[in-house]
Amino acid sequence: MTKYICIELNVQKSPAERQYRFFLKFIRFTDKIQCERIDHLIYISYDDADPMAMRVVQRLPRYFLRGFRITECSEHIFQKDQTTEIRLPIEENIDSTLFPYISMFLPVILGKRQYESWYYCNFINVMCVNEVGFYNYTDDRSCFKRILSENSAQYIKPLHFTKEVFISALFEEYYIYVWIDSCYSGDWDGNHDTHEAHPILIHGVNTDENVYYCYRFSPLKGVFACTYDIDMVHLSIESARCEISNHLDDSHISIFRPKEISQENLFDKSRFLRELENYTFSTGDKVKEYGRAEVAITDKKKICFGLDVTENVIRLLKGEAQNSNFDYRIIHLITEHKWMLLKRFQYVKDLFSIFDARLNQILSDYEQLAKRYELMKNYFIKQSMIQSEGKSFYAPPVQESARLKMINTYEELLRKEKALLEELYQILSIYLPLCDPDDGVSNYYFSAQKTGGRDEAGAYQALSWDEPIKTRKIYIRSLCGRDPLYCSGTMILSDGERAVSYKPELSAEHEAQLIFPSSQKIKSVKFYPEKYLTDQNGNLLAGFRIMEDNKLNQANEIIASSVFQVEGLDCSAENMLKEDSQFWCPDLNDRERCVVFSFDSPISFNSCVLAEDWAALRVSAYKIEYYCNGRWETVLAPEEPIGKLPVRKYFQRVVGAEKVRFSVVRSVCSPNGFDLPNITKFELYDRIGI
């Protein structure tokens, strides 16, 4: 029997819309409940004979703020949504096309710039399970948890995913990942009589035409967008239950959307290095049940990682390994993966602004190596087409000469790749601890030439510029993480005409800074550590970096909306630029709470550093804007606190800013009843490569 209730929400602490959206998450898996919000009232109809509907109704106090009221009501006529079509955005051109486990999710996130860094520190290491011919990235699906809000299930469990649920989820801007029986998809490359389970991505619906807008993989077409009849999709979902037994490691239905996160840098440096190390040295850090083939990590005849996957292909061509699924897909995998890796290496080089001649040469050599893999993939297709008389390009070549050519070429490429990656890993594991994107400063400054060597004063590292640069800071740090390098040293700065010698005091963490009262012209810097380590080639493992001056120091005028006035305490806005614990504090009655920095010449910047006074952590939302071409534009406006430790933010590069405005949007009261923000630090930097 259908019953109706009305819920009057408590909206004093949370808007009705937010509470309603939270409630919708819990009724997505049943079509036995209808609901509609009108202002602060929610009307609900439910079938009291349906267990899931009754469970939702019984748990209503969990979904809404305390103070809401429930009353029974007469029949409510629900308004029909007049919208009949929705298409959620996707990026159709993706790098990874062979693995539906991930390639159905990538179109959703690759079109969003804030996930770029996350993408480039994942999908590096690969693996192969020989007994079932299973190939995949070792990331699997777990890495998506960081950026996706997801509800998923498997077909072995009771499901309530009707087309009404799917359509409702799409109009709530959720994507749907689902396994279907390819026999029912009318354009599945002619496999109309073959039952085989494959996943698709549903990213839209047109109820008038009764179609879903989908994205899927095809052996002949790769990945592409298409449309499917709604009823046919749900018929194929039911049919796929019988064909899904070899895919128990995956969720068979997933309703998801990207998380609401700010455009922060999601690059996980330690993960990138760990995955690169695992790929280079053919190791893996986890194994689970892949298609009913649970194998030991030490048994390389059954499972292999990284470069051993290419070695496994060579063994298959030689007939030394057995794999009933050895075909074009494996060749496509190792070829596509080389281009994936090359893009990641180039991204890291640009992100951290690493200027190293040897690194540039390695990337150039790796690009040539990827091109040769591409040639071998085309050779495989050609030989397969010849032997099948043009009917298929999937089967491996049987002609002995063709196999021998592929074996010799892959063995040569494998040796070259291993040598390149071992050297690349060594270089990046040295540079990345120094080039930390979390310090909010510039890395090696623009077009600096990095050198090192030994002269009469000892071993040194140096940076030099064609034209003098200006800076107020020089930062020295170990390039080997926790390993101690040196306890003292000498730094010589030259502006091209005269040289000055400094002896920086190094901390217990083997770090030091030189901070000058004003900007200094520097044409070259040399650092001579008294104690140091070297790598296996005798190169000095010590490093330093030039920190570009805070752009706000170039301001010719600083105007605050107000300044808190108290005898004996300076709360002016200029305090935010000083290297001490003083702060800017606005007046108690000032609701604007902003500071405007004006410049004689327009500036460029793409990162900022902010901090509050440790005794007054009150900011809960703030905004940074810039003025250009007669109007203000927002750089970022996070709904989050600043905190006592410097918070670093990175964003798309701003060019030509005539003014910059920092505003405190919202602050909370501390125990003493004041909500006045105390901002100790506001800095802008222009890093390259972001």
Name residue, tokens 């470069």: 307
Q: Do 594 and 636 reside in the same domain of the chain? A: yes
Q: Do 584 and 491 reside in the same domain of the chain? A: no
Parts of the chain with a pLDDT under 50: 29, 158, 187-192, 263, 287-300, 436-447, 478-487, 509, 688-690
Name residue, tokens 């623009």: 446
Q: Among residues 426, 441, 486, 439, which one has the least CA distance to residue 461?
A: 486
Query: Of the candidates 258, 293, 317, which is a domain's last residue?
Result: 258
202 in Cβ contact with 178 (< 8 Å): yes
Q: Looking at residue 392, what is its pLDDT?
A: 80
616 in Cβ contact with 582 (< 8 Å): no
Quote the tokens at residue 257. 């959307």
Query: Of the candidates 412, 434, 456, which is a domain's last residue?
Result: 434
Exposure of 477 in the CB half-sphere (CA atoms within 13 A): 19
510 in Cβ contact with 517 (< 8 Å): no
* DSSP character string of 428-493: HHHHHHHS-GGG-S-SS-TTPEEEEEEETTEEEEEEEEEEEEEEEEEEEE-SSTTS---S-EEEEE
**What is d(CA 463, CA 53) in angstroms, rounded to the nearest whole number?**
69
Q: Looking at residue 538, what is its pLDDT?
A: 55
313 in Cβ contact with 334 (< 8 Å): yes
Q: Looking at residue 128, what is its pLDDT?
A: 80
**What is d(CA 40, CA 8) in angstroms, rounded to the nearest whole number?**
6
Q: Which residues of 623-649 are buried (b: 16+ CB within 10 A; e: fewer)?
A: bbbbbeeeeeeebbebeebbeeebbbb
Report the CATH number that the domain containing residue 61 is assigned in CATH: 3.30.70.260
In tens, the pLDDT along 422-456 reads 888 877 876 675 554 433 333 333 345 666 677 78
What is the total count of domains within the chain? 5
Q: Which ranges constitute the DSSP H helices of 25-162?
A: 51-58, 60-63, 100-103, 106-109, 116-120
With a CB cutoff of 8 Å and minimum separation 6, the contacts of 249 are 140, 288, 289, 290, 291
Q: Is 254 exposed, middle or buried (0-12, 13-18, 19+ CB in 10 A)?
A: buried
Q: Do 479 and 346 reside in the same domain of the chain? A: no
Give, in order, the Cα–Cα distances in Å from 596 to each of 48, 555, 560: 61, 10, 6
Residue 133 lies in a domain: no
Q: Which residue range(s) make up the domain with 100? A: 85-111+148-258
Amino acid (one-letter) located at 683: E
Q: Do 379 and 414 reside in the same domain of the chain? A: yes
Q: Would you give the DSSP letter of residue 166?
A: H
Q: Looking at residue 13, what is its pLDDT?
A: 67
Residue 117 lies in a domain: no
Q: Looking at residue 511, what is its pLDDT?
A: 60
Report the CATH number that the domain containing residue 580 is assigned in CATH: 2.60.120.260
Largest CA distance in the chain: 95
607 in helix, strand or coil? strand
Q: Do 341 and 287 reside in the same domain of the chain? A: yes
Question: What's the helix, strand, coil split of the chain in %, to 5?
Answer: 30, 30, 40
Which residues make beta-bridge pairs with 611? 681
Q: Do 300 and 391 reside in the same domain of the chain? A: yes
209 in helix, strand or coil? coil
Name residue, tokens 């020295």: 476
Give, in order, the Cα–Cα distances in Å from 684 to each of 92, 261, 480, 593: 36, 22, 28, 19
Q: Looking at residue 371, what is its pLDDT?
A: 95
CB 369: neighbour CB atoms within 10 A? 19
Residue 121 lies in a domain: no
151 in Cβ contact with 30 (< 8 Å): no
**What is d(CA 419, CA 427) in angstroms, rounded to the nearest whole number?**
13
Q: Do 273 and 414 reside in the same domain of the chain? A: yes
Residue 559 lies in a domain: yes
**What is d(CA 382, CA 375) in angstroms, rounded to the nearest whole number?**
11
Q: Do 154 and 170 reside in the same domain of the chain? A: yes
pTM check: above 0.85: no
Q: Do 648 and 592 reside in the same domain of the chain? A: yes
73 in helix, strand or coil? coil
Q: Which ranges constitute the DSSP H helices of 532-674?
A: none
Which residues make beta-bridge pairs with 681? 611
202 in Cβ contact with 248 (< 8 Å): no
Q: Among residues 533, 487, 535, which one has the least CA distance to residue 511?
A: 487
Q: Do 534 and 558 reside in the same domain of the chain? A: no
Q: Looking at residue 539, what is its pLDDT?
A: 55
Which helix (H) or strand (E) segment holds residue 280: the answer is helix 269-280
**What is d(CA 335, CA 354) in angstroms, rounded to the nearest whole number?**
27
Q: Do 319 and 248 reside in the same domain of the chain? A: no
Query: Of the candidates 496, 531, 549, which is a domain's last residue?
Result: 549
* DSSP character string of 286-345: ----BTTB---TT-TTTEEETTHHHHHHHHHHHTSS--TT-SHHHHHHHHHHHHHHHHHH
Residue 125 lies in a domain: no
Residue 250 lies in a domain: yes
Give, in order, the Cα–Cα distances in Å from 634 to each of 463, 642, 652, 662: 36, 18, 11, 10
Which helix (H) or strand (E) segment holds residue 557: the answer is strand 555-560
Residue 162 lies in a domain: yes
Q: Do 382 and 446 reside in the same domain of the chain? A: no
Q: Would you give the DSSP letter of residue 584?
A: B
Residue 482 lies in a domain: yes
